[in-house]
Chains A and B, each alone.
Chain A
Amino acid sequence: MALSALNILSHYVAPWALPGEEIPMHLLWEPTFEPSRIQIDLPPDLTLKELLNVDSFTTCDSTRVTIDKLKTSNFFGLVVSHDTVPQEQHLRREIVVQLFSGQGEVSSHTFVTNVYRPLLSVMDCPSSVAISGDRVGPLRISLKLSGFGNIQVRTEISVGGEFVELSEPLYEEMVRRMITTLNLGKTAAETGSPIRIDPSYLERKAKESVEKMERGIFPLDIDEEDLKEFRAWLADPRNRESVMSLIVRHMESLLVDSLLFYLERYPGDNIELAQGTPRMFIEKATQAVKLRFRYRDMMLNEYPPVELGIDVDDRRPDKGRRVEIPINLNWTTEILSVSNQR
């Protein structure tokens, strides 16, 4: 029962959220007012996740929540979320709260929140690439990020069959170097100024690499013959210590690599390339290449990927040789600012 007039002390709803992110809201008033009932009307695409400070309530069609009793009479809160990935880059949603005392409605409050998503699209991409020599000019692709928020992009490539994710360049580089060093029977003779790297990092990275190798995970583009020998060498328990020392010896150059990788990984505002700048290897002239850019937001929502088909026009006399096609990505970002409309 209302003891005195309602005096609102604080009302709030989180102004924006990504799909699936929990959106908190609350209403706080002077404890002298005790509502007999609180009615909350939710848009159908918002899901009720939690009620704060509520003792008993009922729901109707999952869009109307009626609170009969609060635990302490001066506030309540609720948490909602938009659980599907929307087509639109921006959805504006209203939550209406009505407070009743015995006689009828005392006050009504509208809370406005916004659900945003990122959207990746292709602005420009060649439909074919011509290979005439060993060096192929980079494939220039212009991508645009619009909507809201940061994204992480993973590039996958398919040369006729399944899409394969490009591996992490650092690891790839490490394996390639180890194999080369091993085959040449050489040590990295020349080292520059010593680099101080966190020793625990070094150890961890070395262990990770050994584990990957032991699990048989190798970069795709390493020559089969080389790999065979390397595997045999790796499998020999007598070489266990050499494996670690070989990895550690390659660490200085790996630090240089990782700084470069770090720079490549973030090509622009709001964009992270999980594997750095993508590259593509072509082996057979007849291959129709497909590139796929998978992306996800900070809530790890995965969005429908962007796919590109590229015809390969191989004009080389020796068509069997592997050739690398660098990919040059050009980014445009057009991020929405959060709507101030209430």
Chain B
Amino acid sequence: MAESSLLSGAQLGLSIVQQLDKLAECFRPYEPEVRRFRIDYLDKGSEIKYLIRIPSGLSRKLHRKVSIPSTIGFKIDEIIDLDTTQLLSFSYNSSDKTWNFDADQFPNSERFLITLKGRVSEDFLARLVSVRVATDASRQDGIEKFWVHSALRDVSILQRVWNELDLDRVNCDVRIGVERLFTSVIPNEVRNALQTQKQLLDAIAHGARNIEGLKSRYRVQQRRTKVSPAELFELVMKLVSGDFVIDYIRVSSPYVLGLIEPVKALTAIVPEKLKVGVQTDLNFQVPVAKGDVVFERSNYSQSISAAFKNLLGK
């Protein structure tokens, strides 16, 4: 319920600025002050922390009920009494789709911290941040390097909360080509065995007779290489998995390594590239980030070569 109502802010076409305006409106009697505005680039979640003041006495009696329509796009996550650090209760009314609390029920403290959670759109993030990575790597001494760069593009849309803005996990995806490596490490005899198998399958498909010679050649090669296409295929898949590749990737600060996953073209069996996600945080003090993703190509190549030798039982 709450999750789907979060979409309504975006559905109504409210910009983040309009959402913030509407939120401020809801808290107006309590002098709302933005303490932190955090956007998670990866999961597109946003979190805003307001400090509000609810003095005891007449003001509290006058504006005791606060109601936030979920159509704004934010839901209340928690309310903390800053004097006692006690968590306070709030509720969601599903009939009119509002988040509510009653200030009159609150303790006699004055300062409260309210956390609200919302969601930002892909478009909004694209307008806010510029993310660029090298399309192709530079190569030297068996090392491949990709540059990565991220920068805040236009913060004017958030100027009012700009000083409190934290943009977390700004992600750049680097695409590393690994397909070429396998060609050089798969030994010729495996290739020859595959060739023979292909010829044999062809001959069978063509209904050819007198294929005994081909069959025995195939058997001999099968015994010698001790590897089936399926095993070969599985090994390739293992060698391009994130778990294996992670040892050969280095990322320069301030970036940290995120997800590594193989990228497969629609019509290909074997993945051709590895997508390596690297992340950094941006904010008012650090609005730009630069770095490198390094792929130790030679070392990786040696390891896959060893893995093939191992599979072939040498």
Chain A nearest CB, measured from B311 CB (Å): 14
Q: Are A299 and B135 in contact (CB under 8 A)?
A: yes
| Contact pick for A71, options B134, B156, B195, CB 8 Å | B156
A338 proximity list for chain B (CB < 8 A) = 138, 140, 145
- Interface membership of chain B positions 230-241, coded 1 if the CB is closer than 8 angstroms to chain A and 0 otherwise: 101100000000
- Interface membership of chain B positions 152-176, coded 1 if the CB is closer than 8 angstroms to chain A and 0 otherwise: 1111100100100000000000000
B198 proximity list for chain A (CB < 8 A) = 253, 256-257, 260
The 3 tightest CB contacts between A and B, nearest first, are A253-B201, A338-B138, A149-B136
| Contact pick for A77, options B130, B135, B191, CB 8 Å | B130
- Give A341 to B229 CA distance when docked, in angstroms: 48
> Interface residue tally of chain A, by bracket?
35 or more
Q: Does B277 contact A (CB under 8 A)?
A: no
Q: Does B183 contact A (CB under 8 A)?
A: yes
A-B contact pairs, 20 of them (CB 8 A): A10-B290, A14-B147, A52-B151, A71-B155, A72-B162, A75-B151, A77-B130, A79-B132, A184-B207, A188-B204, A255-B229, A256-B194, A256-B197, A258-B269, A259-B269, A263-B182, A263-B183, A268-B180, A297-B136, A299-B135
Q: Does B288 contact A (CB under 8 A)?
A: yes
Given A71-B155, A297-B136, A181 and B205 contact (CB-CB distance below 8 Å) = yes
| Contact pick for B153, options A52, A180, A192, CB 8 Å | A52
- Give A262 to B134 CA distance when docked, in angstroms: 25
Q: Does A186 contact B (CB under 8 A)?
A: yes
| Contact pick for B149, options A12, A186, A201, A337, CB 8 Å | A12
- Give A21 to B151 CA distance when docked, in angstroms: 17
Q: Does B206 contact A (CB under 8 A)?
A: yes
Q: Are B290 and A53 in contact (CB under 8 A)?
A: no
Q: Is the interface of B mostly helix, strand, loop or mixed?
A: mixed
A28 proximity list for chain B (CB < 8 A) = 287-288
B233 proximity list for chain A (CB < 8 A) = 195, 255, 259
Q: Are A150 and B152 in contact (CB under 8 A)?
A: no
Chain A nearest CB, measured from B193 CB (Å): 10
Q: Are B266 and A204 in contact (CB under 8 A)?
A: yes
Chain B nearest CB, measured from A81 CB (Å): 11
- Give A294 to B177 CA distance when docked, in angstroms: 21
| Contact pick for B130, options A79, A149, A271, A337, CB 8 Å | A79
Q: Are A266 and B182 in contact (CB under 8 A)?
A: yes
- Give A262 to B233 CA distance when docked, in angstroms: 11
Q: Are A186 and B151 in contact (CB under 8 A)?
A: no
Interface residues of A (CB under 8 A from B): 10, 12, 14-18, 21-22, 24, 26, 28, 50, 52-53, 55, 71-72, 74-75, 77, 79, 148-150, 177, 180-181, 184, 186, 188-190, 192-198, 201, 204-205, 208, 250, 252-253, 255-260, 262-263, 265-272, 297-299, 335, 337-338
Q: Are B177 and A150 in contact (CB under 8 A)?
A: yes
Chain B nearest CB, measured from A314 CB (Å): 27
- Give A184 to B205 CA distance when docked, in angstroms: 9
| Contact pick for B205, options A75, A180, A193, A335, CB 8 Å | A180
A21 proximity list for chain B (CB < 8 A) = 134-135
Q: Are A189 and B204 in contact (CB under 8 A)?
A: yes
Q: Which of A14, A198, A262 has the most CB of B within 10 A?
A: A262
Q: Are A263 and B186 in contact (CB under 8 A)?
A: yes
Q: Are A253 and B270 in contact (CB under 8 A)?
A: no
Task: Give the residues from 127 to 146 in chain B that come closer than 8 angstroms, CB to CB, to chain A.
Answer: 130, 132, 134-136, 138-140, 145
- Interface membership of chain B positions 269-291, coded 1 if the CB is closer than 8 angstroms to chain A and 0 otherwise: 11000000000000010011010
Q: Are B134 and A16 in contact (CB under 8 A)?
A: yes
Q: Are A188 and B205 in contact (CB under 8 A)?
A: yes
B177 proximity list for chain A (CB < 8 A) = 150
Q: Which of A52, A72, A259 has the most CB of B within 10 A?
A: A259
Chain B nearest CB, measured from A101 CB (Å): 21
Q: Does B179 contact A (CB under 8 A)?
A: yes
- Give A145 to B100 CA distance when docked, in angstroms: 67
With CB as the reference atom, state the residue of chain A lying closest to B288.
A26
A262 proximity list for chain B (CB < 8 A) = 179, 182, 268-270
A253 proximity list for chain B (CB < 8 A) = 198, 201-202, 205
Chain B nearest CB, measured from A250 CB (Å): 7
Q: Are A337 and B156 in contact (CB under 8 A)?
A: no
With CB as the reference atom, state the residue of chain A lying closest to B269.
A258
Q: Are A298 and B207 in contact (CB under 8 A)?
A: no
Q: Does B228 contact A (CB under 8 A)?
A: yes
- Interface membership of chain B positions 52-88, coded 1 if the CB is closer than 8 angstroms to chain A and 0 otherwise: 0000000000000000000000000000000000000
